[in-house]
Structure 1
Amino acid sequence: MIEVPHPGEFLAEELECRGWSQRDLAYILGVSEQGITQIVNGRRGISPEMAKALGDAFDVNPEFFTNLQKAYDLSRAKEPDPGIARRAQFQSVYPIREMIRRGWLEDTDVPMLEGQLMRFFHTNDISSIPHLAHAAKKKSYDVDTPEQLAWLYRVRQISSEIVVPRYSKKALEEVIKDQLPALMTDPEEVRHVPRLLAECGIRFAIVEHLDKTHIDGVCFWDSGQPVVAMTTRFDRIDNFWFVLWHELTHVLNEDGKKKGTRERVDANLKYEISDDLPPEEKRANKAAADACVPIREMDSFYARKAPYISEKDVLGFARRIKRHPGIVVGQLQYRMDRYNWLPKYKVAVRKFIAQSAVMDGWGNPAPVSL
Structure 2
Amino acid sequence: MKTKHIAPAKAIHPGEILMDELEAREISQKEFAIKLGIQPTQLNEIIKGKRGITAEHAVLLGKGLNMEPIVWQNLQSLYELDRVIINERTQNRLVAIEEWDKIKNLIPEKYLKKMGAISGDPVHDLPYIKEFYDLNTLEELPAVYQKTESFLNRKSTKNTVDKINLMGWVNLIKATAKNIQIEKFDHRKEKEIITGLKKILANNKDTIEKCKKLLASYGINLITLKHPEKCAVDGVCFWSNKNPTIGLSVRYKRIDNFSFTLFHELGHIFCHLKENKETQFIDVELSMDIDHSKAEKEADQYAMDQLINPSNWEDFVTLPNRLEKKSLVKFAQLEGVHPAVVKGRLCFELNSYTIKVDIDNLLG
Same fold (TM over 0.5): yes
Distance 1:238 1:199 in 2: 24
Distance 1:238 1:133 in 2: 32
Identity of paired residues, percent?
Answer: 22
Distance 2:288 2:252 in 1: 14
RMSD: 3.2
* Alignment counterpart, residue 263 of structure 1, candidates 260, 277, 280: 280
Corresponding position: 1:94 with 2:107: yes
Q: Is the 8 A contact 2:145 2:163 kept in 1?
A: no
Give CA-to-partner distance per residue, 1:169-207, whole Å, 9 cap, x none.
Answer: 12333222x322222322116242112211111122111
In structure 2, the partner of 1:336 is 350
Q: Is the 8 A contact 2:107 2:168 kept in 1?
A: yes
Q: Which amino acid aligns with 2:334?
A: R
In structure 2, the partner of 1:305 is 320
TM-score, normalised to structure 2, is: 0.63
CA displacement at 1:327 relative to structure 2: 1.0
In structure 2, the partner of 1:348 is 362
In structure 1, the partner of 2:136 is 124
**Change in CA separation of 1:299 and 1:218 when aligned onto 2, cut-off 3 Å:** same
In structure 1, the partner of 2:117 is 104
Mapping of 1:31-180 within 5 angstroms? 89-108=102-121, 110-131=122-143, 140-141=152-153, 145-176=163-194, 178-180=195-197
Q: Is the 8 A contact 2:151 2:280 kept in 1?
A: no
Return 5+ residue gaps in structure 1 as ranges.
1-80, 353-370
In structure 1, the partner of 2:6 is none
Distance 2:144 2:206 in 1: 43
**Change in CA separation of 1:344 and 1:209 when aligned onto 2, cut-off 3 Å:** farther
Q: Which amino acid aligns with 1:95?
A: P
Range with bigger deviation, 315-324 or 125-134: 125-134
**Change in CA separation of 1:199 and 1:341 when aligned onto 2, cut-off 3 Å:** same
Give CA-to-partner distance per residue, 1:83-137, whole Å, 9 cap, x none.
Answer: 88765654433321121012121121x3433223112212231111245898986
Count of residue pairs brought into register by the alignment = 264
Q: Which amino acid aligns with 2:325?
A: E
In structure 1, the partner of 2:62 is none
CA displacement at 1:254 relative to structure 2: 4.0
Range with bigger deviation, 335-344 or 321-330: 335-344
Q: Is the 8 A contact 1:219 1:247 kept in 2?
A: yes
Q: Is the 8 A contact 2:100 2:126 kept in 1?
A: no
In structure 1, the partner of 2:299 is 284
**Change in CA separation of 1:238 and 1:99 when aligned onto 2, cut-off 3 Å:** same
**Change in CA separation of 1:344 and 1:111 when aligned onto 2, cut-off 3 Å:** farther
CA displacement at 1:162 relative to structure 2: 0.7
Distance 2:145 2:333 in 1: 55
Distance 2:340 2:360 in 1: 4
CA displacement at 1:161 relative to structure 2: 0.8
> SS of the counterpart of 1:141?
strand
> SS of the counterpart of 1:227?
strand
> SS of the counterpart of 2:238?
strand
> SS of the counterpart of 2:202?
coil
